[in-house]
Structure 1
């Protein structure tokens, strides 16, 4: 179709209206992502505050993650049924309420419950926000949109540990939650005023049986995997029983979704070759990269004896590197095709991570900081272009469902990756110090804090970290295989099929 004047969605640059919408979405995403990294830094302070064990306090993080995984599948249907604006505002309001209550928590049980409430809000923030931005910008600018949405992904790893360490040390652990209140209030007001009214379509009947299979299935699977470090292996009933039950529910969902009309997650999306390849790449990348990101600050805290604030500052070069390449990566993904950007990005990540496979107890900081910066350069050219590749050959009408599927993959793979890297590190530390797997990190901490055993323990612990990073390197290297099948040309926006809201465009 030709028009005399290009509409904002057809122009090449992101116009002011789209940038305003992006600002609102980024503000909400910053709040959710910062909260995750801020809390990780505060776990030790929370353990002391509530006089509990690390196994129990870990549920402050795990409960949040399970709530995210549970609510994400509902987002696609909600965005179709009510439009994107209302679910997005509801998610901010729930997150805001959960944050206020978490800051007022009087015991560990109440804190975990309020974190779950936060997660129910946070789970919709990213997929609903991604849907709003992609619809506003149009498919041919999806790479640039993903680059803008990548800003909070950078601010989280850079700002979260720094802000969390400062708040815990200088103010109070309660402020790691209260800090969300002014941000959330501003985001809610701006969303109400700036986000465009979108037209809810008469939505198909909601797939309640699908939700009762997929949401608990994801939650049980992540729950089972997250218990591996505590239980000491996969043979424990507390690990395999929920994980197997979760997998059974997910398989049942897939079998049913292939047969029914309008399933909770539209599996027809995976018939689009580009989307399917991007999701496979995303899965391996999130397992390996998020797992490595969990281990990195632990190395600085445990082996090098840094404070949480110092560890946060040491991780900053990674975010700075990503800031350099992310805007360029998004633009080039639109211009020359994501496949030509993601492959070099993964190779650059491998080069940076290789530094950490040789890490010791006294590796010079300039070497480590250079490795982190190089990893950041690769991350900026990888994460958002993979997301752009997943969405750019789909029709506008299928974007909400595709965003939901993509976020489910990200959360599930990230949760599994964190647990996998934790168990690898714990088992390696346990082997070094001759203790059960569940006691590996505790034994290392005890020996490292003793001046008489510190030097030997630091060397042994560093070896365990180096081997863990080697596992992450192998998993990221596996990403190269599906990356070879990502499109090497810019996508042609798909035609909207009349009367078929969720039909997937054929990839070129």
Structure 2
């Protein structure tokens, strides 16, 4: 290795933590904002004179906008460059945040949340792909192990931050808090994040694919939320239409001679197929549990939203501790070993919640959540490292978009499925609240076993090193 090459590598190593921190700010804003409003539903309903079912669209609209935006992230980064798209996404997200704070009705707030979600949906995949491109395969594992912990912390931090803000200031600050963070992120990114040139192979935007994939996902998620709400006809129409549009997209993606918005063939290339399954199930498990536990703490134990969020803190602490371990071992330990161990820890941490009807002590809950958090940190980063270190640089934006899309859809589908199971359990005769939740957690265990089956197909060998 020449002296100049070594010097350039040293400069990259010294600058990577700073670049990772800057790009993580965008992911932090987008993912926390997905859950920060959950504790303010009743406050917003009172403020705008709307019903809880109407104001729930403040959360649903954001999620649908995110699902709509993620598939386009790869093409946008290829066409305009990763840093430029990331900066534009922050700007759109901040615009949506400011408009949300100025909302005068429930309808206006819902519309402005769509604007916010379109920007927020682009931030995680664009930031991860940009960071992986700057780091290179040899350094990807270490930086991704830091970045990957943020989406795991957001379901824990969102309710905590939201509850703290509502206890001190007005509801507008749920959105205004993003402005200083976003402005700092933009200023730092313009100064320290290097520009990555657009792809040399310019492709036309896949209009037909976009018309099938993004709306299909949005309609499917919408249909699943209707299933959870117990509305049979809208649910059946939404799920059927969504699945039909997604099937149409797969057929289009396989037949088109142009570059599709998201290439279905990506998932046939090892190890992306197994990695995709692991991330889908991880998203379902993480967001599903984060949905179930606060609801149980509030309905079953009579706690406030802030107290319920506070009880989830051990999971965040476990995730941080796990990310430290993964950061030190990700380049030395086989990825399958880390992922399978992480899934096993999640299962160990989930089983105690199947005994909620037997009076599970608080210390047992806290310990189980810490173990779950530790296990979650051992899955996301190694899976992303497997993919990012084996995908050609020009394919990173689209691979990142695919992984983030699957994680988001997994969380949405998992939450909706568990909501349906919980509703059925609560409706059963002679079944108390704790027993209903305990039985529902067996489904979370089943998701973990499904993820373990997929993880056995991950590579045994460590990620390849580049010079």
Q: Which TM class, normalised by the smaller chain length?
A: over 0.9
**How big is the alpha-carbon RMSD for the aligned residues of Structure 1 and Structure 2?**
2.0
Check 1:81–1:297 CA distance in 2 against 1; reply closer, same or farther (3 A cut).
same
> Aligned runs of 1:451-462 on 2, under 5 Å?
460-462=432-434
Question: Of 398, 401, 420, which residue of structure 2 is paired with 1:404?
Answer: 401
Q: Are the aligned partners of 2:70 and 2:404 in contact in 1 as well (CA < 8 Å)? A: yes
Give the superposition deviation at 1:136. Answer: 1.0
What TM-score does the superposition give when structure 2 sets the normalisation length? 0.95
Question: Of 89, 92, 95, which residue of structure 2 is paired with 1:94?
Answer: 92
> Aligned runs of 1:340-355 on 2, under 5 Å?
340-355=337-352
Aligned to 1:488: 460
Question: Of 47, 51, 54, which residue of structure 2 is paired with 1:53?
Answer: 51
Give the superposition deviation at 1:47. Answer: 2.0
Check 1:131–1:319 CA distance in 2 against 1; reply closer, same or farther (3 A cut).
same
Give the superposition deviation at 1:8. Answer: 7.1
Question: Of 277, 283, 287, which residue of structure 2 is paired with 1:290?
Answer: 287
Q: Are the aligned partners of 2:67 and 2:217 in contact in 1 as well (CA < 8 Å)? A: yes
Question: Of 317, 322, 325, which residue of structure 2 is paired with 1:320?
Answer: 317
Aligned to 1:218: 217
Give the superposition deviation at 1:51. Answer: 2.5
| Matches of 2:164 and 2:342, distance apart in 1 | 33
Question: Of 125, 129, 132, which residue of structure 1 is paired with 2:127?
Answer: 129
Check 1:267–1:167 CA distance in 2 against 1; reply closer, same or farther (3 A cut).
same
Give the superposition deviation at 1:120. Answer: 0.4
Q: Are the aligned partners of 2:385 and 2:463 in contact in 1 as well (CA < 8 Å)? A: no
Cα distance per residue 1:450-485 (max 9 Å; x no partner): xxxxxxxxx811111111111111111111111111
| Matches of 1:417 and 1:297, distance apart in 2 | 16
Q: Residue 185 of structure 1: SS of its match in structure 2? A: helix
Question: Of 370, 373, 384, which residue of structure 1 is paired with 2:370?
Answer: 373
Aligned to 1:418: 415
Check if 1:248 corresponds to 2:220: no
Q: Are the aligned partners of 2:339 and 2:378 in contact in 1 as well (CA < 8 Å)? A: yes
Give the unaligned 5+ runs of structure 1: 434-458, 496-508
Q: Are the aligned partners of 2:217 and 2:242 in contact in 1 as well (CA < 8 Å)? A: yes
Give the superposition deviation at 1:493. Answer: 5.0
Give the superposition deviation at 1:330. Answer: 4.1
Q: Residue 357 of structure 1: SS of its match in structure 2? A: helix
Q: Are the aligned partners of 1:330 and 1:385 in contact in 2 as well (CA < 8 Å)? A: no
> Aligned runs of 1:76-475 on 2, under 5 Å?
76-202=74-200, 203-232=202-231, 236-260=232-256, 261-360=258-357, 362-432=359-429, 460-475=432-447
Q: Are the aligned partners of 2:26 and 2:123 in contact in 1 as well (CA < 8 Å)? A: yes
Q: Residue 229 of structure 1: SS of its match in structure 2? A: helix
Aligned pair count? Answer: 465
Give the superposition deviation at 1:44. Answer: 2.0
Q: Are the aligned partners of 1:330 and 1:381 in contact in 2 as well (CA < 8 Å)? A: no
Give the superposition deviation at 1:494. Answer: 7.9
| Matches of 2:429 and 2:180, distance apart in 1 | 46
Stretch deviating more after TM superposition (206-215 or 39-48): 39-48
| Matches of 1:337 and 1:344, distance apart in 2 | 11
Q: Residue 428 of structure 2: SS of its match in structure 1? A: helix
| Matches of 1:17 and 1:245, distance apart in 2 | 47
Aligned to 2:450: 478
Q: Which of the two has greater helix per residue?
A: 2
| Matches of 2:210 and 2:405, distance apart in 1 | 13
Cα distance per residue 1:320-343 (max 9 Å; x no partner): 011111132244232222101010
